[in-house]
Amino acid sequence: MSVIGWVKGQISTLPYPDEDCTGRTVIVTGANCGLGLEAARHFVRLNAAKVILACRSIERGEAAKQDIESSTTRRHVVEVWQLDLGSFDSVKDFAARAAKLDRLDLLLNNASVLANEWAMLEGHEIMMTVNVISTMLLTVLLLPTLRRTGTQFNVTPHVTIVSSDAAFMVRACARRRGALCVADCRDFPCQASFPERKADHTFDKLKENKNYRERYNTSKLLQLIFMRRLAEASDASGKGHVLVNALNPGLCNTQLFRSWSFPLSWVLWLVCAVLGRNPEMGSRTLMTAALAGEETHGQWMSSCKLQVWPKVMRGEQGERLADKIWGELAEILEGIEPGAMENI
């Protein structure tokens, strides 16, 4: 993809969601603002029976609920549940509560963090904890509830992960040392350099404060890796089909970059102001993936179209890396909640 192609994609009008969601129960993580809020608003507008805003802050979640109810005039649909992806206990408590739902048709894993400073949560770097480990933990713990819904109501439950084309970016590629590569070089799109993939234990290596500026890109790459492997493993288990996919919402004018400091914050603000999708337009990418058909199972989308994988995920090398990441994540999840991987 060239820069011109990327710009055209950014400014294009995406399809407006119109699928009837009557009767469905939906969970949207990180739904108090930005893309998550607008996606939740769409689900309410499309007649979903229950839309759960999974938010770290109940106060902000309640404000989002009031905003949605005011704009859609639908009451008694939105519920606000606390979910802190920085706490494994919070994830487990949320999943236990969700297991008591009459049905769960869709889990939209929208919440992510882009940290500007080094920090650790639950023994891992914050972006690894929130974007990768907790997101996978929540998904795995909710699989039985999703499958029960599929069987009882004869529907196909969905899990959708909001990833990013940051998975294709490198901080310092061979041609542009020291710069974020978003240029139209011959090898674009390229992959996050991700040197930690070569370590004996990748997630232990990611606990070190090295290559930190690439960590968000790496977390988004890992999301794609575990999403594809989850789709394969879930099918192979024979326990019931759950459609699993991922998407890139593109550059959106949201609060994702709120922690960045001057002068980069100003640069990002300017780029977002000129080329960024507004939250409602960006949310259409979430809705397209969340309501998509079987052709997207184990795949990922950008600008509402299926996309190729980052190079690091392709071929025999990509399979070996996927095996490694999947195995390490399984070990981590079993340490958090013994027996969790049996849900798959």
Catalytic residues: 163, 216, 220
Q: Residue 115: which residues within 8 A CB-CB, separation 6 or more?
A: 126, 127, 215, 216, 259
* Contact present, 45 and 19 (Cβ < 8 Å): no
What CA–CA distances, in Å, run from 115 to 2, 10, 260, 283? 28, 24, 8, 22
CA dist 262 and 285 (Å) reads 30
In whole angstroms, give the CA distance from residue 86 to residue 134.
Answer: 7
Antiparallel, parallel or unpaired: β 50-55 and 78-82: parallel
Contact 268, 257 (CB under 8 A): yes
Task: Give the whole-angstrom CA distance, residue 181 versus residue 168.
Answer: 9
The strands making up 106-109's β-sheet, listed across from edge to edge, are 78-82, 50-55, 25-29, 106-109, 158-162, 243-248, 300-302, 305-306
Token look-up 């940051």 returns 166
One DSSP character per residue, 213-237 reads: GGHHHHHHHHHHHHHHHHHHHHHHH
Residue 245 phi/psi, 5-degree rounding, is: -150, 180
The phi, psi pair for 22, rounded to 5°, reads: -55, 130
User: Tokens standing for 115?
Assistant: 């940290």
Q: Crossing angle of helices 58-72/34-45, nearest 10°?
A: 40
List all residues 6 or more positions away from 249 whose beta carbon is below 8 Å from its beta carbon: 35, 162, 164, 277, 282, 283, 285, 286
